[in-house]
Amino acid sequence: MSVSWGSLAAILGLAVPVAAALWEFVLAGRKRLGYRVQLDTTIRDSAASGPDTTVLQRMQWDGTNLRDPSVVLLRIENAGWRPLVAADYVAPANDPVGIRIAFPGRRVVGMTVTERSTQVPPTFFVPGAEGFETTGRVISLPKVILNRRAHYKVLAVLDREEGFSDPEFPEPEVSAGVVGGVRGGNIKKTAYYPFASRQVRWLLASLILVSATQSAFTLAGDDEAAPLDCTTGTLHLSGSTAFAPVLREAAKRYEETCPEAHIPLTATSFKGSVDGLGALAAAGADARLPDGRGLGSRLTFSDGPKSDGRPRLLPRPVALSLFTLVVHPDAGVEDLSLKQVRDIYAGTVTNWSQVRGNDVPIHLVSRNPGSGTRTTLEQQVLDGGGPPRVTTADCAGLDRDRPGRCEVGSTGTLLDTVAATPGALGHSEVGAAAAHDDVRQIRIDGYPATLEGADQGAYPYWQTEIAYTYGEPPADSIAAGFLRYLADEVGKDIIRAEGHRPCSELDKPLLCRPSTS
């Protein structure tokens, strides 16, 4: 099909403003930490606005009147499109401070958090919390987890430092950064519109509207138009519970994009990697397909490669999935050496006090056999070893006064069980663990669960998420269409949003190694 010059001009007229809009609202704002100085006033400034400021002028600290008191209110906010977790802050893993605010010429008399979004945990700001303190002219703030648009406000009371004689105080100096953030990742001072000014918004909207209208009229005159790459039929998904949130969201979006596609999902669609591989092999065998033809209606996703013995199951690496150990907060530990982890699962360490934690028995909560998360733990962390025997079939029956182990069927159930069981230790994919407020993630040999740690070989608990087909599915099948969708930009956005990383975006793509077994 030839493309006319008019069509090409129309396409370019639409592409330029759309690309500008995507850059401003999506790419440039994907991960961004911002702040605003909403109030910075001295008592002498306030004196002109009220008849009686003697109460403020009599403010004291350690029994001494303040020389030149002032008040500052700062808003710290996630001004990007992606959630920020503790591992995103540019700071050593053992440094609890994520943001530092300095007030040149002033010392901090007192400070408090006056407002926070409902999803920001209050435990970050209780007195004595790690990373939440004042020293001289500096306020330290912890590595607060901030979902998209979340914020909190810090109110500080300050006094002029001795020897500082300038009539006006410099603006507060806010130092922080996020890994992978835009424009170097440094915290930015934001205006009321954190993504773009009002003028830029109107300009982009006008350009898009004009160009879209022009393009629509021009393209309507063409004899042919490129069809939307959608497929029809019913697709059955199964496999990993850790990757299930990605697949549920992708299936929903794919059905919205392709109305004639149907992807039925239930609460039991994802029961584990091994279970899914078995179901795929059985469905392929029942179909009695001739050699060289694949099943186009089923996909199974596995945390890592399949075992030997199923030669017609073909792998396609999709993403790198990070996993983490999680504990009940009363364990009193945040870091374990690889040897300590292996000793715990070998049964030679049975109380957290043996690894410098609290005097609490260790209760191991594991996924059922066949879970890819559990298999990865055994292969890459425990060096092929397995957990001790199960002591109770029901996790609610664990004896709180002695060590024990139980098994559960899904990642969500495991996290809920660890949160409800003192001394519990379990394992989960990172995205689900980060979203659960009542468990703590464990660093291994000082390394948190990050892509950088896995990439450098320092963090061992990760695995390749692999999509399996039964034979080579037809190119026009719904299985092939859904795999193309996951590899497209929308699919990759969904994968990243759930804490995984598309294989195509890795610095070392060989980390996403396919299996030929």
Alpha carbon distance 77, 79 (integer Å): 6
466 occurs within a structural domain: yes
Indicate whether 211 and 305 sit together in one domain.
no
Indicate whether 212 and 314 sit together in one domain.
no
Q: What token pair was written down for 87? A: 């591992």
- The residue range of the domain holding 117 is 30-189
427 occurs within a structural domain: yes
Indicate whether 104 and 207 sit together in one domain.
no
- CA 151 to mean position of chain CA atoms: 17
Alpha carbon distance 418, 409 (integer Å): 13
- CA 35 to mean position of chain CA atoms: 21
162 occurs within a structural domain: yes
Indicate whether 158 and 204 sit together in one domain.
no
Indicate whether 316 and 394 sit together in one domain.
yes
Q: What token pair was written down for 454? A: 């896995």
Indicate whether 291 and 397 sit together in one domain.
yes
Per-residue tens of pLDDT for the chain, all 517 residues: 445 555 555 566 566 666 665 655 555 557 788 999 999 998 765 555 554 555 555 565 656 778 889 999 999 999 888 889 998 898 888 899 999 999 999 999 999 999 999 989 899 998 888 999 999 999 999 999 999 889 999 999 999 998 899 989 999 999 998 887 766 678 888 865 545 555 456 656 666 765 666 666 555 544 443 334 688 999 999 999 889 999 999 999 999 999 999 999 998 899 888 899 999 999 999 988 887 789 999 999 998 888 777 889 999 999 988 999 999 999 999 999 999 999 999 999 999 999 999 999 999 999 998 888 899 999 999 998 889 999 999 999 999 999 999 999 889 999 999 999 999 999 999 988 998 999 999 999 999 998 788 877 889 999 899 999 999 999 999 999 999 999 998 999 999 888 888 888 877 666 676 444 3
Q: Which of 30, 54, 27, 31 is nearest to 43 (CA)?
A: 54
Which CATH number fits the domain that encloses residue 53?
2.60.40
CA angle 314, 315, 319 (to 5 degrees): 160
Cα Rg for the chain, rounded, in angstroms? Answer: 28
Enter the DSSP assignment of 153.
Answer: E
- 124, 96 Cβ separation under 8 angstroms: no
Secondary structure class of 1 (helix, strand, coil):
coil
What are φ and ψ of residue 191, in 5° steps? -95, -170
179 occurs within a structural domain: yes
Alpha carbon distance 333, 331 (integer Å): 6
Indicate whether 11 and 53 sit together in one domain.
no
- CA 210 to mean position of chain CA atoms: 37
Enter the DSSP assignment of 322.
Answer: E
Q: Mutual orientation of helices 244-257 and 489-497 as an angle, nearest 10°?
A: 150
Q: Which of 316, 318, 314 is nearest to 250 (CA)?
A: 318
Task: Please report the sign of the dihedral spanned by the C-alpha atoms of residue 478, residue 480, residue 484, residue 487.
Answer: positive
Indicate whether 99 and 247 sit together in one domain.
no
Indicate whether 123 and 209 sit together in one domain.
no
Indicate whether 266 and 296 sit together in one domain.
yes
Alpha carbon distance 257, 195 (integer Å): 27
- 309, 351 Cβ separation under 8 angstroms: no
pLDDT at 515: 41
- 56, 142 Cβ separation under 8 angstroms: no
DSSP string, 470-483: ES---TTSHHHHHH
pLDDT at 517: 38
pLDDT at 500: 86
35 occurs within a structural domain: yes
227 occurs within a structural domain: no
- 468, 311 Cβ separation under 8 angstroms: no
- 367, 417 Cβ separation under 8 angstroms: no
Alpha carbon distance 240, 300 (integer Å): 8
- 140, 131 Cβ separation under 8 angstroms: yes
DSSP string, 332-360: --SEE-HHHHHHHHHTS--BGGGGTS-S-
pTM assigned to the model: 0.52
250 occurs within a structural domain: yes
Indicate whether 90 and 60 sit together in one domain.
yes
Alpha carbon distance 20, 207 (integer Å): 10
The total domain count for the chain is: 3
Contacts of 55 (CB under 8 A, 6+ apart): none
- 501, 320 Cβ separation under 8 angstroms: yes
Q: Which of 124, 137, 120, 145 is nearest to 175 (CA)?
A: 137
The residue written with tokens 């990697």 in the block is 273
Q: 58 forms bridges with which residues in the sheet? A: none
Q: What token pair was written down for 340? A: 């300590």
Alpha carbon distance 73, 37 (integer Å): 6
Q: Which of 347, 407, 397, 413 is nearest to 374 (CA)?
A: 407
Q: Where are the beta strands (DSSP E) in 161-201?
A: 173-175, 188-189
CA distances (Å), origin 86, targets 76, 175, 271: 15, 16, 30
First to last CA, the chain: 43
- CA 395 to mean position of chain CA atoms: 28
DSSP string, 417-461: HHHHSTTEEEEEEHHHHHT-TT-EEEEETTB-S-HHHHHTT----
Indicate whether 316 and 370 sit together in one domain.
yes
Contacts of 130 (CB under 8 A, 6+ apart): 96, 142
Which CATH number fits the domain that encloses residue 451?
3.40.190.10
- CA 378 to mean position of chain CA atoms: 24
229 occurs within a structural domain: no
- 323, 460 Cβ separation under 8 angstroms: no
